[in-house]
Amino acid sequence: MIGIRFDEFSAGVVALSLNAAAFVAEVVRGGVGSIERGQAEAAKAIGMRHRQVLVYILLPQAYRQMVPPLTNELISLVKNSSLLSVISVYELTRAGQAIISVHFVPFEIYTLLALYYYVLIKALSWLSVQLERRLPTW
């Protein structure tokens, strides 16, 4: 319709990215907004500009609070990737559907798929916990 042709992989990545970007934007906005106003006011009082306040004062304090919701977003991104099976991206769910269409054993394959997703998400959760532990506390 707009004259740009994507293959299914690129189209899926673009769609998921745009979807995730809205959530990430809210996380960033909320994280920066959660820092008490006095911090920004004090920085402005010593002559910092708006961008300097953001970069040197607000973001270093906010990023620790942003990590848990961002890792949640990453986990939901992995789960949402199953939607790309609809546009025939050969990801995990599509691979399972292909096996089911050959062997007609949906119970076994979907159980196996659930296990695969569980392991993937458990690993990501573990990584996020490790990352949160390593972040400095103020």
Partner 1 sequence: MTIDWGIILESIPLLAEGVIVTLQVSALSAVLGLALGVALGLGAVLSVGPLPPMSISFVAHRFSSKSFWFSLPCL
Candidates 5, 51, 133, 134; binder of partner 1 (CB under 8 A) is 51
Residue 95 binds partner 1, judged by CB under 8 A: yes
Helix (H) or strand (E) segment spanning residue 82: none
d(CA 75, CA 72): 5
Residue 132 binds partner 1, judged by CB under 8 A: no
CB 31 within 8 A of CB 65: yes
Tokens of 107: 């119970």
Residue 87 binds partner 1, judged by CB under 8 A: no
Please tell me whether residue 43 adopts helix, strand or coil conformation. Answer: helix
Candidates 57, 94, 125, 128; binder of partner 1 (CB under 8 A) is 94
**For residues 19 and 125, which CB has a smaller minimum distance to partner 1 in the complex?**
19
CB of 136 to partner 1, least distance (A): 20
d(CA 134, CA 137): 9
CB of 16 to partner 1, least distance (A): 4
